[in-house]
Amino acid sequence: MRIYFVGIKGWGMVNLCLLAQDLGYYVSGYDLPEKFPTDEYLKKRKIKYDTELSEKNIDRFAPDLVVYTGAHQGVNNLLVVYSKAKGIAVMHQSEFIRQLQDQFKQSVLIAGTHGKTTTTALTAYCLTKLAKDIGYYVGTTEFSGLPAGAYLGNKFFVLEADEYAVSPPVDLRIKLELYKYDYLLLPALDYDHPDIYKNFDEVLHTFKRYILNFPDSRVYLNLTDSGVLQLYQQIKSKHKHLSLISDNSDADYRVADISYSEAGSCFKILTASNEFSFNLKLYGEKNVYNSALVIALLFDLGFSYDQIKKSLESFSGLARRLQYYGKTSDSRLIFDDYGHHPTEILAVNNALKQCFGAVKKIVYVFQPHTFTRTFSLKKEFLKVFRQLDYLVLLPIFASARETDTGLISSEELIKQLNDQERFFYAKDFYQALNRVKSLANKTDIIVTIGAGEVYKLLPELKRL
């Protein structure tokens, strides 16, 4: 089978492409010629792709299937439209993933608004070590030395499930609801994607509806998250297979005795009859509970404590999730994170303070992602910003699906913070670098954070 991926360099598409190649499909695609972090993965796997948007691409490759996302004009992309006209099968990325699920005996889904990429990567990593006979799809570039999409066998399919719409505004189906699951892990629920959901109640309703559609499947809930707790209150009498993870004695898997250091996090898991200790090479409380969800799943799948401990503790992290990048010439530590929601920024700050000490001063270079999110969560962003030591705020990185209405800007946010010593608006990367450089004697840690292109600053920061 020949598959053509429109937007092949995207964070999610490249991993789907690698998975498809492992399954024996012949793959190619289209994307822009500009350099992107995923280029090296396509090159390593000798996957050729087109950089010119032309109908000739389809004629030349002669695909059996064309896969697209909401990017590159989605369903209205020239290649998608032309393929449909020629009678070639066309599927959205999520529809293709759902089709792939049928090739596996069981599906393990990780969903929610925060923590799902880390939790998916950790689940896939541990099952790769323990079960081996798995396939997985994770929304990053790589984790702990593994590619973020692979097929090693058909027993389990580990999948990061997105709660965004298929291709707004044309197709508003929720991606999550296209999938089936045998096991579902839910780290966190929060209000996000204001262009799709009017309020948090709509988010809750979507997840409630989805979970209850699979009454015989197992769901793992992190009840220390307030959003997940609200969901639990709505489904606890309607779903018979809920596993509860919390710091409460009523939990099926209770987390206790958490401690932090520059090496990571240590904690215990208490069940009705046993106590288990774990050391994690990940930072902060959120990752402790992400890991606890995975541990609960692995115990239920029949793996022993020693097996789980060995696999979990060898996990070294993943790209763009509080990833350690190196040091500046003046020995400041550099981290990079994909966080683009106020809750995620706060989680990163708390994790670094927990593990490196509250006295360490941190400067964040943040690039807000989308005007709709920044406008809708303006109060939440400002509240979190005020808890940071120092902030360099870049212009908002717009989605291809939106335009600047003039209702919100990074410059206006900085003005409202009203503290020129701590909060700085940088109109470009050059100004951001100079500001970070000027804080050399006042900061110990630098964090680039955002879902746009802020990661491109990392090589320059290392040279400071």
**Closest among 83, 82, 107, 111 to 97, alpha carbons compared:** 107
d(CA 300, CA 293): 11
Residues near 341 by beta carbon (within 8 Å), at least 6 away in sequence? 113, 114, 190, 192, 373, 377
State residue 406's pLDDT score. Answer: 85
250-265 confidence digits (pLDDT tens): 999 999 999 999 999 9
* Position 403 pLDDT exceeds 80: no
**Closest among 146, 142, 151 to 37, alpha carbons compared:** 142
* Position 294 pLDDT exceeds 80: yes
d(CA 381, CA 1): 47
**Closest among 195, 178, 187 to 286, alpha carbons compared:** 187
Contact assessment for residue 360 and residue 445, using Cβ atoms and an 8 Å cutoff: yes
Half-sphere exposure in the Cβ direction for 404 (13 Å, CA): 9
State residue 424's pLDDT score. Answer: 97
Average pLDDT over residues 83-102: 96
30-65 confidence digits (pLDDT tens): 999 988 888 999 999 999 999 999 999 999 999 999
pTM of the model: 0.93
| Neighbour-count burial for 136-149, b at 16+ CB within 10 Å, e otherwise | bbbbbbbbbebbbb
On average, the pLDDT of the chain sits at: 94
Contact assessment for residue 120 and residue 160, using Cβ atoms and an 8 Å cutoff: yes
147-198 confidence digits (pLDDT tens): 999 999 999 999 999 999 988 888 899 999 999 999 999 999 999 999 899 9
Residues near 145 by beta carbon (within 8 Å), at least 6 away in sequence? 316
d(CA 398, CA 452): 8
**Closest among 391, 388, 400 to 367, alpha carbons compared:** 391
Contact assessment for residue 394 and residue 410, using Cβ atoms and an 8 Å cutoff: yes
* Position 12 pLDDT exceeds 90: no
Residue 419 identity = D
State residue 44's pLDDT score. Answer: 92
Res. 17 pLDDT band, cuts 50 70 90: very high
State residue 170's pLDDT score. Answer: 85
Residue 242 identity = L
Domains and CATH numbers, the chain: 2-94 (3.40.50.720), 104-313 (3.40.1190.10), 323-462 (3.90.190.20)
Task: State the CB neighbour count (10 A cutoff) for residue 24.
Answer: 8
State residue 457's pLDDT score. Answer: 94
For residue 253, report the phi and psi dihedrals to the nearest 5 degrees. Answer: -130, 105
302-350 confidence digits (pLDDT tens): 999 999 999 999 999 888 889 999 999 889 999 999 999 999 999 999 9
* Position 445 pLDDT exceeds 80: yes
Res. 404 pLDDT band, cuts 50 70 90: confident
Residues near 456 by beta carbon (within 8 Å), at least 6 away in sequence? 429
State residue 11's pLDDT score. Answer: 82
State residue 79's pLDDT score. Answer: 97
Q: Are strands 171-174 and 165-167 parallel, antiparallel or unpaired?
A: antiparallel
| Neighbour-count burial for 399-434, b at 16+ CB within 10 Å, e otherwise | bebeeeeeebbbeebbeebeeeebbbbbeebeebbe
d(CA 257, CA 95): 43
Percent helix, percent strand, percent coil in the chain, to nearest 5: 35, 25, 40
Contact assessment for residue 403 and residue 431, using Cβ atoms and an 8 Å cutoff: no
220-278 confidence digits (pLDDT tens): 999 999 999 999 999 999 999 999 999 998 999 999 999 999 999 999 999 999 999 99
343-373 confidence digits (pLDDT tens): 999 999 999 999 998 889 999 999 999 999 9
* Position 86 pLDDT exceeds 80: yes
Beta bridge partners of 323: 336
State residue 232's pLDDT score. Answer: 97
Query: Residue 79 to residues 56, 58, 97, 327: CA-CA distances in angstroms?
Result: 9, 7, 20, 44
Element (H, E) at 95: helix 93-101
